[in-house]
Amino acid sequence: MFQGKNVLVTGGSGFVGVNSIAKLLSLGVRVRATFHKKPPVLNDARIEYVKCDLRMMDDCRRVVAGMDYVFMCAASTSGAAVIASTPLVHVTPNVVMNSQMLEAAYDAKVKKFIWISSNAAYPPTGDRPVAEEEMFAGDPHDVYFGAGWMKRYTETLCRLYSEKLKVKMATVVVRPSNIYGPYDDFDFATSHVMAATIRKVVERHSPIEVWGTGDDIRDLIYIDDFIEALILAAEKMDTYDPVNIGLGIGHSIKDILKILFELEGWKDPVVRFDAKKPSMIPKRLIDTAKAERLLGFKAATDIREGARRTIEWYKANRRAQV
């Protein structure tokens, strides 16, 4: 579907954006990619990079001009500490960027707008994997209240463009679990749990400091699997019909640490759990049956193999990452 087409990837120097660009190039796509503060990561003559600020409507209109498809990978993101201390930090910038990019894409007659939501926007479901139709069944978990409702608002906008306008624009919404892998953010100030933990283990921190009790459970999906699912969704889906993308298996932080120690051959690490530091959702599992049914997708990379590949990549590239 994408071969020879003009595709815009926003957030082209970010984790998901970089990996999306690499995959799209392999499919014969003409890629335009945006970046803001962080410079481009991939050096390839086939990529047209555009420096811009997607909080400015003129920049949004400029980058969507002539595009067939838009992959909206740009987002204001961070780790648990930032969200806990400044809960509004990701609300306004993301609402502005998402709203303006949707409008600009619509006015430019883009064929399809692919947007990445989040499993953090779901209401708490305890030990039960959460299904797509439960998104609006209650408020998000308290620590994600602002960011969660921001995601829900943008999903509602995606539905508006896909279903409610006289002239419609197809929107595709995926709700990933925790993504990790090469080109992830390894900066402790902004990184998520897998990247931060890998860095601590590779650098042999002593003690390894873990926020919370270590019993929090996460569904972690390797980036190559997520990108495969993202492309499948973009190809096969033509309207707002959100789909969960994850490994379908939960691992506790303690489980992850054990795997990382084994991969690194570290036999005597000292781990310090700090229950006073901010922890996020105690347990978040997502139901991945819909992705398997609609897209024929099932994640192929288990946590051990994904962690091994990520460690290898980080060791080879860490000077550029921190």
Domain at 140, CATH number:
3.40.50.720
Instruction: Taking the CA atoms of 243, 81, 302 and 74 in sequence, report the sign of the dihedral they define.
Output: positive
Question: Does 160 reside within a domain?
Answer: yes
* Three-state DSSP state, 290: helix
**Among residues 99, 112, 32, 101, which one has the least CA distance to residue 61?**
101
Does 208 reside within a domain? no
**Residue 320 domain flag:** no
Structure tokens at 3: 């071969």
Alpha-carbon gap, residue 286 to 50, rounded angstroms: 35
DSSP state, 155? H
- Please give the DSSP secondary-structure letter assigned to residue 130: B
What per-residue string of b and e applies to 13-39 under the rule 16 or more CB within 10 Å gives b? Answer: bbbbbbbbbbbbbeeebbbbbbbbeee
Residue 297 lies in a domain: yes
Is the distance from CB of 134 to CB of 74 less than 8 angstroms?
no
Q: Give a yes or no: residue 279 inside a domain.
A: no
The DSSP annotation for 75-109 comes to: -----HHHHHH-TTTTHHHHHHHHHHHHHHHHHTT
Q: Please state at what angle helix 57-64 crosses helix 91-107, rounded to 10 degrees.
A: 40
What are 152's two structure tokens? 């829900």
277 within a domain of the structure (yes/no) = no
The total domain count for the chain is: 1
Domain that includes residue 10, residue range: 6-180+220-248+285-301
Alpha-carbon span 223 to 227, nearest angstrom: 6
**One pLDDT digit (tens) per residue for the chain, 322 residues:** 889 999 999 999 999 999 999 999 999 999 999 999 999 999 999 999 999 999 999 999 999 999 999 999 999 776 566 666 666 767 999 999 999 999 999 999 999 999 999 999 999 998 999 999 999 999 999 888 998 999 999 999 999 999 999 999 999 999 999 999 999 999 988 888 899 999 999 999 999 998 888 999 999 999 999 999 999 999 999 999 999 999 999 999 999 999 999 999 999 999 999 887 766 678 889 999 999 999 999 999 999 999 999 999 999 998 655 5
Encoding tokens for residue 80? 């648990």
In angstroms, rounded to a whole number, what is the distance separating the alpha carbons of residues 35 and 131? 33
The pLDDT tens digits for 251-286 are: 999 999 999 999 999 999 999 998 877 666 788 899
Task: Answer whether 275's CB lies under 8 Å from 229's CB.
Answer: no
